[in-house]
Amino acid sequence: MDILVCVKRVPDSAENEISVAAGGADIHRDDLVYSVNEWDNYAVEEAIQITERLGGTVTVVSLGDSEAEEVVRREMAMGAGQGLLLVDGAFTGSDGLGIATILKAAVQKGRYDLILTGAQADDGGGQVGGMLAALLDWPFASLVNRIDVNEGKPLRIGREIEGGAQEVSDIETPCVLSIQTGINEPRYVGIRGIRKVASVEIPVLDATALGVETASVGSAGAKVRRVDYFVPVAGAGAEMLTGSTDELAGKLLDLLKAKGGIK
């Protein structure tokens, strides 16, 4: 099975203090620490596990600037066999549909049985996987936390749905699946793996190579534009409890009784 996994380089929320830049049009990006999007890391691990069992290839693709190379190499060091970079100044400012349009062009440059994305990105809205599937006219499922592969048969997938319930479905390939965290345990990336892929050539495709009309992507083609970042003003209704552990427990119990939470 030949699998393409879409990965994104995002600010590491565990390593950064995120603050809004002056004017509210963006966040402060100076000195931010970046890493691969957490959900995408699970998607890559799942792809590697599938090909370890059944054979095939794993290709990781990232759209961004030249610095996206670091996350592609990181996932190759993890076990993905091939990498692909989509880099062009015309891609800057793409909305979800623009990103999906660029990824569609990359998909059509190869032959893939399965495309995996993270269920969402730390700095995004979880929309690209579904849009990519729609543009390709492929089946799609989101929040996938189980994939069973049997040759010659549809994939059997599990999805996390409301109320902690699990939904199990069969889905034909080729298809696009957005992967939920917890589907597996991503493996550790060691120095040996990083050195192994350090000099591997990674193809870089721009708009011309992909056959993408620049007017349909980037800021020029964006139908959705981010106009403001802000930190919400703290509202009324929150009460901070103080005291010892026993005192806090008593106050909490009284509040729950007063609000009808318990009798």
pLDDT given for residue 123 in this prediction: 77
**231 pLDDT tier (thresholds 50, 70, 90):** confident
**95 pLDDT tier (thresholds 50, 70, 90):** very high
Among candidate residues 121, 164, 165, 159, the one with its CA nearest the CA of residue 142:
159
Chain CA centroid to CA 19, Å: 22
**238 pLDDT tier (thresholds 50, 70, 90):** confident
pLDDT at residue 201 tops 90: yes
Contacts of 74 (CB under 8 A, 6+ apart): 36, 189, 194
pLDDT given for residue 25 in this prediction: 75
pLDDT given for residue 107 in this prediction: 98
Ranges of each domain in the chain: 2-221
Mean pLDDT score, 204-229: 93
pLDDT at residue 152 tops 90: no
Element (H, E) at 141: strand 140-148
Mean per-residue pLDDT over the chain, rounded: 92
In which residue are the tokens 């399965």 written? 114
pLDDT given for residue 193 in this prediction: 93
pLDDT at residue 171 tops 80: yes
Indicate the SS3 state at residue 85. Answer: strand
DSSP string, 202-224: --EE-HHHHT--GGGSHHHH-S-
Mean pLDDT score, 254-260: 86
pLDDT given for residue 33 in this prediction: 86
DSSP tag of 234:
P
Give 25-64 pLDDT, tens digit per residue. 778 887 788 899 999 999 999 999 999 999 999 999 999 9
Burial class of residue 230 (count of CB atoms within 10 Å of its CB; 0-12, 13-18, 19+): exposed
Among candidate residues 61, 33, 53, the one with its CA nearest the CA of residue 118:
61
Give 63-89 pLDDT, tens digit per residue. 999 999 999 999 999 999 999 999 999
The class that CATH gives domain 2-221 is: alpha beta
Which residue intervals of 64-206 are DSSP H helices? 69-78, 96-107, 128-136, 191-197
**13 pLDDT tier (thresholds 50, 70, 90):** confident
